[in-house]
Structure 1
Amino acid sequence: MGYSTTAPDVWDESFEGRPDSLLSSDQCVINAEHYFVRGLIEIPVIGSDEVFSWGVWVSLSRDNFSRAADMWNTPGREAEKPYFGWLTTELPIYSPSTINLKTNAHTRPVGQRPYIELEPTNHPLAVEQRTGITLDRVRQIAEAVLHGNGENG
């Protein structure tokens, strides 16, 4: 129950193969200046034990990215404090834009993507993360994504 993007919105195929840029399934570097990790915005589904997930990218500072990369395969890494970041994935079904929403990336055990916690604002995505969504809303999201109003990758 979820959708995901393969790269931050600022990634361009022209960066591919450059020595100062990298795109993997979990990490991205652009021009040795911009650093990103992939994580999950998890939204509880009301009336069930299910969770809906958006696979998104957040930008991190160089220091936080380096620390996250150093700890990537370290058991116990979930004890790390959250890393502040900016959401760099546009989820077109939300208005206003989801680009540059403030986040905290919470590291989880090795093999699990970070949990992305949005700043508790009135943005519809942040509200959904705090309050949950119905199964009908999950169906609406699926419909929007399948008809090109979102990304699936």
Structure 2
Amino acid sequence: MISTNGFQCATCGAFHEGYAMCYGPAAPEIWSTIPEAERDARCVLSSDQCMVDEQYFFVLGRVEIPIIETGEQFVWLAWVSLSAENFNRTCELWEEEGRENEPPYFAWFSSALPYEKSTLHLETILHTRPLGERPAIELQECDHVLYHYQKHGMPLAELQALTERIMHG
């Protein structure tokens, strides 16, 4: 557990109890580029999978980031795009026991997270997890703070700043 009760918000001045420990967009970034009137005809979106124009395929996964001072994890729920072949394989195994034995898939990061440098199109590896668990997203080495945080941890002060950005836009 995080050892603090909360923080004094630098944005609004109020005391907030706790931190945002799991957060993410409801759809991949491409979803926002499609006119709302066309979405039903062009897209299929569930809580964990998305298909656009029968040619773009996405799965929701977890980017797990250790918090340095606490040992807890912050989780970004994020969308990654898969090839049609890997998406179909993921769907085949979705309800299968032992699916975590599947080799990992290459994927492109497809969520625009609130960082100064874009997170779109970062290279990732998607690791299937046991039935009932979302897959793990492993960012590939790159010059992005998200990669650095996943590999080395995020300071509690950055978690506070991130929580403020999430709460206040």
TM-score (norm 2): 0.82
Paired residues for 1:11-30 under 5 Å: 11=31, 12=34, 13-18=36-41, 21-30=43-52
Dislocated runs of 4+, deviation >6 Å? none
| 1:98 correspondence with 2:119 | yes
Amino acid at match of 1:101: L
Aligned residue for 1:58, secondary structure, equals: strand
* Unaligned segments of structure 2, at least 5 residues: 1-20
Which of 58, 65, 80 pairs up with 1:36? 58
Aligned residue for 2:80, secondary structure, equals: strand
Match of 2:161 in 1: 140
Counterpart CA distance in 2 for 1:15 and 1:2 is 30
| 1:51 correspondence with 2:40 | no
**Paired residues, what number?**
146
Paired residues for 1:107-126 under 5 Å: 107-126=128-147
Match of 2:4 in 1: none
Match of 2:22 in 1: 2
Match of 1:87 in 2: 109
Match of 2:13 in 1: none
Which of 95, 98, 108 pairs up with 1:76? 98
Counterpart CA distance in 1 for 2:116 and 2:110 is 15
Alpha-carbon deviations, 1:41-77, whole Å to 9, x = none? 1101113231000010000000000000000010010
Aligned residue for 1:16, secondary structure, equals: helix
Aligned residue for 1:52, secondary structure, equals: strand
Q: 1:70 to 1:123 in 2, by over 3 A?
A: same
TM-score (norm 1): 0.91
Percentage of identical aligned residues: 44
Counterpart CA distance in 2 for 1:63 and 1:109 is 20
